[in-house]
Amino acid sequence: MSDYLVIVESPAKAKTIERYLGKKYKVRASMGHVRDLPKSQMGVDVEKHFEPKYITIRGKGPVLKELKTAAKKAKKVFLAADPDREGEAIAWHLAHSLDIDETSDCRVVFNEITKDAIKESFKNPRKINMDLVDAQQARRILDRLVGYNISPILWKKVKKGLSAGRVQSVAVRLIIDRENEIKEFVPEEYWTIEADFMKGKENFQAAFYGMNGKKVELKNEEEVKDVLNKIKGREFNVNKVTKKERKRNPAPPFITSSLQQEAARKLNFRAKKTMMLAQQLYEGIDIGKEGTVGLITYMRTDSTRISDLAQKEASEYIVDSFGKEFIRTENRNDKKKEGAQDAHEAIRPTSTLRDPSSLKEFLSRDQLKLYKLIWERFVASQMASAIMDTMSVDLVNGDVMFRATGSKVKFPGFMKVYVEGNDDGKEEKDNFLPALEENDKALSKDIDPKQHFTQPPPRYTEARLVRTLEELGIGRPSTYAPTLDTIQRRGYVSLDNKRFVPTELGEIVLELVREFFPEIIDVEFTVNMERSLDEVEEGKARWASIIEHFYKDFEKHLEIAENEMEKVEIRDEPAGEDCEKCGHEMVFKMGRYGKFMACSNFPDCRNTKAIVKEIGVKCPSCKEGNIIERKSKKKRIFYGCDRYPECEFLSWDKPIERSCPKCDHLLVEKKLKKGVQVQCTSCDYKEEQQQ
């Protein structure tokens, strides 16, 4: 008979914790939630102050039975679910199901699964925090009231399987609003003038700045000609040289949203994949002699706080690896965003001493990539700022002024380890200028005017959308990945070149929600609701009164929608060809894996076809077929002949229309880490890399 029973959510976590606690402790997994609202009905009694009706989740009966048996044999039961609202609710549901007094010291929480953290948490058990539980219940009931009331109306009026949730509706709205901005965008012409200069034998670049020392924007070719006509000869005078030292601080350690964004930028991971890998690293990996160890702290957090112990260990590592001058000495006071929950630390390695290279043989390729990103970001955050030498030079010819800017790293500091990415994928590089002093002369070599047009705002990538939701204060760390997944599965948006594009269905549903349930897609309303849920967690508000306040207006909107929302018929877009089996028109459909063609005579004819995307290149192998874009089972794009299987030409790299000028063989676009390069498939011919 075991003295103590410990219940966690997952078997991986159970296995790791059991190693640290010893023989007196038996650790079992609940496999997540054991109770929830029923799927088959609303499960919320609106008349009785929104009282929830919880039932045992289907399939969890045997798990619960096993836990009850183990609990009866134990002297004491500890509930060790994750340290957040969701984890607190799981602990509360378990306490209810196993007849454990929720006011007893039955709850243990830890931010990392390491020996010291586990042992410390069991020295300080506490009662279940009902404020946290109530905040989770409020969110769950609120989402149920919205989803289970709006969805049936959408099923009747539009089509089956639709839903409209609080956070997902705002996310779809952002994507559609952005698409409308792009459609309505009117490009404006502007010009730049760039020039190559020489000082002695050294070359450098400068750009037109203005006239008579004042900045001038060039709007058309006439203005450019006017500037060029005012330049007399090739000689420019160095009018002003400004030298400065600039400090660059490292990014703070990761929180959930910044981890998802940076993993998308640097590793090309989707938010869902990032969270799945982070969960594995948190719950524990077998790393040889040490056994199974949690490698990172809890991955659902919006706090950048770091424990004193972790800071001390990181400092010692930095001194040993780089030297004392690389240690962070100043207190940077990383800004805590409004509404951030400060209960947890930031996401960091549980030990800085476990550098990524030491874990190479124990982690999968993707686990290692994510761990390396977390480790480097954390170590860099504890390092000294980088110091940059910057130089700005004004070059004057008559009234015309050009400006050259340069910078170089004087002291790399944290940049030795890690530099934060950006959504444009551009890296900051050293730009050296020759030694220039006031009244020096420089000669212009090439003066190159260029026409440009302003660009519309970019479509949202996953990283950009997560950042926007976070900046607006919509959702919480745990909601971003499932929200992005849901809006794609529902067919409201699709991904085109890793950017969100709204579908016709998404636009129809949003219009209906906008008309009949405006508060659901109102950003300010959603943000205020998040604040109200935070107040419940802090014990400042009652969850039932918040829901009651929301439901008064919502109920009226429901009644109006039920009576006044007109039925919408979604006509499938014609594919421009007929079905080869029955002769009816083929139409485009949206499926789980994207767009495809189907016969309009469904269900009598079930013919479907993949959409063929030609790239405008003849097959280099058979010379008859056309090259088309295809997808492998793992959704990786490749290129092949449309006469397959007669012609078996295949290429992972995209063929282009031109042939190699050197040997006349096929040229392809080769994707590299920092852009695309045109290369020959036969000889060593390469063209300059494009960003």
pLDDT digits (tens, 9 = 90+) for 5-14: 999 998 888 9
Highest mean pLDDT among 289-293, 500-504, 587-591: 500-504
Interval 297-326 mean pLDDT:
93
Does the annotation count 298 as an active-site position? yes
User: Comparing 344 with 284, which gets the higher pLDDT?
Assistant: 284
Asked if residues 378 and 418 have their Cβ atoms less than 8 Å apart, the reply is no
The pair of structure tokens assigned to 196 is 């190559």
pLDDT tier at 339, thresholds 50, 70, 90: very low
pTM of the prediction?
0.79
Predicted confidence (pLDDT) at residue 336 exceeds the cutoff of 70: no
Question: How deeply is 260 buried, as exposed, middle or buried, from its count of CB atoms within 10 A (0-12, 13-18, 19+)?
Answer: buried
Predicted confidence (pLDDT) at residue 569 exceeds the cutoff of 80: no
pLDDT tier at 592, thresholds 50, 70, 90: low
Q: Helix H segments across 74-165?
A: 85-97, 115-123, 130-157
Report the share of the chain in percent with pLDDT over 90.
63
Mean pLDDT of the chain: 89
Could you give the angle at the alpha carbon of 416 between the alpha carbons of 410 and 417, nearest 5°?
150
Tell me the per-residue pLDDT of 138-176, one tens digit each, with 9 for 90 and over: 999 999 999 899 999 998 888 877 888 888 999 999 999
Interval 379-392 mean pLDDT:
95
Interval 604-625 mean pLDDT:
86
Tell me the per-residue pLDDT of 640-685, one tens digit each, with 9 for 90 and over: 998 887 888 899 999 988 888 888 888 998 887 666 788 998 888 8
From first CA to last CA, the distance across the chain in angstroms is 65
Residue-level pLDDT at 332: 57
Predicted confidence (pLDDT) at residue 435 exceeds the cutoff of 60: yes
How are beta strands 386-397 and 400-411 bridged, if at all? antiparallel
Interval 536-549 mean pLDDT:
93
Tell me the per-residue pLDDT of 492-531, one tens digit each, with 9 for 90 and over: 998 877 889 998 889 999 999 999 999 999 999 989 998 9
Residue-level pLDDT at 443: 95
- Residues 618-654 as b/e (b if ≥16 CB within 10 A, e otherwise) read ebbbeeebebbebeeeeeeeebbbbbeeebebebebb
pLDDT tier at 425, thresholds 50, 70, 90: low
C-alpha neighbours within 13 Å on the C-beta side of residue 147: 20
d(CA 8, CA 1): 19
Residues 6+ apart with CB under 8 A from 48: none
User: Comparing 590 with 360, which gets the higher pLDDT?
Assistant: 360
- DSSP E strands, 584-663: 585-591, 594-599, 608-609, 613-618, 626-631, 637-641, 650-651, 654-659
User: Comparing 622 with 78, which gets the higher pLDDT?
Assistant: 78
Residue-level pLDDT at 428: 62
Domains and CATH numbers, the chain: 4-128 (3.40.50.140), 137-184+458-564 (1.10.460.10), 189-249+386-453 (2.70.20.10), 264-381 (1.10.290.10), 653-691 (no CATH)
Predicted confidence (pLDDT) at residue 2 exceeds the cutoff of 70: no
Tell me the per-residue pLDDT of 98-139, one tens digit each, with 9 for 90 and over: 999 999 999 999 999 988 899 999 999 999 999 999 999 999
Which candidate in 20, 25, 209, 298 is catalytic?
A: 298
Tell me the per-residue pLDDT of 51-96, one tens digit each, with 9 for 90 and over: 999 999 999 999 999 999 999 999 999 999 999 899 999 999 999 9
